[in-house]
Every structure is written in structure tokens, then in C-alpha cells.
Structure 1
């Protein structure tokens, strides 16, 4: 659904740009600059979101490995305590 709204917004921007391009030729440099800036911002936002996802994924993998180590240690401690209690 998010992608659909992005497409609709881009189509609206293109239509508005073409209308402005044809109605007011004096504003052609302004319209083209705005469209170029919007495209650059869109590309930069995609790059940032991909980078953030990659960093978060790496952090999650590191936390998962630490959690597995901690789980093994706690399991060993609990098994040891259970065996000691059983011996009594």
C-alpha cells in the first residue's frame, strides 16, 4: 500500500510539473529544479533506509549470538543446580 501511495504522489508531481511547465514558461527552471531536488531526496531516502536496515540487521545478529551464549550459560547453571538438589 505504501508503494501505491508513492506512485500516486509521483504521478501527481509529474502532472503538476507538466502543467506548470506549459502554463508558465517563465517558471520552467524553478519547476525543473524542484523536480530534480525531489528525485534526489527520494534516492537519498532509499539509500538511508537500506543502510539503516543493514545496520539494524547486523546489530540483531550480534544480539542473537550473545543471547544464545547467555542462554547456554543459564541452562548449564540451572542444570547444575537441579543435579545438586537431586543428590540431596
Structure 2
């Protein structure tokens, strides 16, 4: 299954899964998954911009092991959660 980061305000998306044959790509790993660091950087920029705008919703589909380890979309996710403490959050768990 292909994994993407998507900017839902524009529809732009980037493939998150790293191509292991591309030696020029910086990657971060979690379990068996390898992800492109540049795509996380793109996503962090989108989240930082979104946190300064007046949106009704900011959707973060997953906060996972990378974010808890300070990688992935962290610190942008941390900043959103800390800077918007008076917002309503809905956490969903899927199996």
C-alpha cells in the first residue's frame, strides 16, 4: 500500500515511502517502513502554516511512533497541540 502526505487545502500530495534504490534520499525508519525525510519536512511546513491560519479544522491523520520519538511530523504536531490548547480535539483509534 502506498502512503502519502496530502495537503487537503490544495490537493497536493507526496509519496512518503522511500525508494531504497535511491541512495540520495534521506530516510527515517519505523518498524519495517522507510520514509522520505524531505516529505516530512514538506508536511511540517504545511502544518506550521496551517497553525497560523484561521481554519475551522486541521486534520492530522496519524500521530505515531515517529512523532512520539521527536521525528516524522514532530515538532510541528507538538506546536499545534501546545499552541491551540483551547481547541477541541478528537482522537480516534482504529484497529
What's the TM-score once normalised by structure 1's chain length? Answer: 0.34
User: Which of 1 and 2 has higher RCO (CA within 8 Å, sep 6+)?
Assistant: 2
What's the TM-score once normalised by structure 2's chain length? Answer: 0.32
Flag the structure with larger Rg: 1
